[in-house]
Amino acid sequence: MTPEGRVTPARQVGWLAAAMLLVASSPAHAMHLADGILPGRWALVWTAASLPFVVAALALLERRDARDAFYKPFVAMVAAAVFLISCMPVPVPTAGTCSHPCGTGLAAILIGPSMTVLVTVVALLLQALFLAHGGFTTLGADVFSMGVAGAFVGYLVFTVGRRAGLGLGAAAFLAGVISDWATYATTSLELATALHGARPLGATFVAVALAFVPTQLPLGLFEGVLSAGAVTFLYRRRRDILVRLQVVPA
């Protein structure tokens, strides 16, 4: 605790890391796109598509950290939160994967979409290493759907919503919902392009996307409520953090 009674970012990161270890000790469930689902060439395609975003995020992190020592610990805290939020698998047997909340819509609001890509890489690597969630050959595809598509779509929705006059909570709610659904639309596309065979691509995409609807429709709404609640809470209790992150004007 600081002299003012506030918890420091470093202490918060430590608590979240401890929570991550508790989650890691629980039984694993297959989630994300597992190794072997995508053919090798498609795994390479999605890895190549994700790599430029990861490189750009690493450079951005160094620049922001040089300007503000608060930034890197806060990003680490967001990474821990994304790890925990996305460790809630709901099996979708007909799609060959699982549904789960992502947390990348909220992350994109707080730290921007580029940094959210890097946060997603960290969360997915830890899950693949310690929880058998997802895989290593499919890491690029999982990063692209959850980090790139989810983060950039969520950030765009939030930004457009705010400029259109929506309140902070309403814009964050929409960002959380649409970010989640964009992630699973992209996952459906990844599966369809790799596995449609002789079947039309469009029909395969629709079939996979529909398989996600029963679970992802409510999970998307949950993410909207989570994003709106977290951003509104920060605005009321620690508006200075949102100002520092340039989420709201000073």
* DSSP type of residue 58: H
What is the predicted pLDDT for the residue at 29? 37
Q: Is 42 inside any structural domain?
A: yes
Inside any domain, residue 2: no
H-helix segments, the chain: 9-24, 40-67, 71-85, 104-111, 113-130, 139-142, 150-163, 168-195, 201-237, 239-244
Is pLDDT of 174 > 50?
Answer: yes
| pLDDT reported for residue 131 | 80
Domain that holds residue 63: 9-13+30-244
**Residue 207 within any structural domain of the chain:** yes
Residue 3, in any domain of the structure: no
The answer to whether residue 56 sits within a structural domain is yes
In a domain, 65, yes or no: yes
Q: Structural domain tally of the chain? A: 1
Is residue 20 within 8 A of residue 83, CB to CB? The reply is yes
pLDDT in tens, 193-244: 988 888 899 999 999 888 888 888 888 999 999 999 999 999 999 999 999 9
pLDDT of residue 215: 81
Query: How many Cα atoms are found within 13 Å in the side-chain-facing hemisphere of 192?
Result: 19
Reference 33, options 151, 120, 145; nearest CA is 145
Of 211, 204, 42, the C-alpha closest to 139 is 42
In a domain, 4, yes or no: no
Task: Evaluate whether residue 103 is within a structural domain.
Answer: yes
d(CA 204, CA 209): 8
203-213 confidence digits (pLDDT tens): 999 998 888 88
| CATH number of the domain encompassing residue 63 | 1.10.1760.20
Note the pLDDT tens digit of each residue in 86-139.
887 666 655 555 677 889 999 999 999 999 999 999 999 998 888 877 788 899
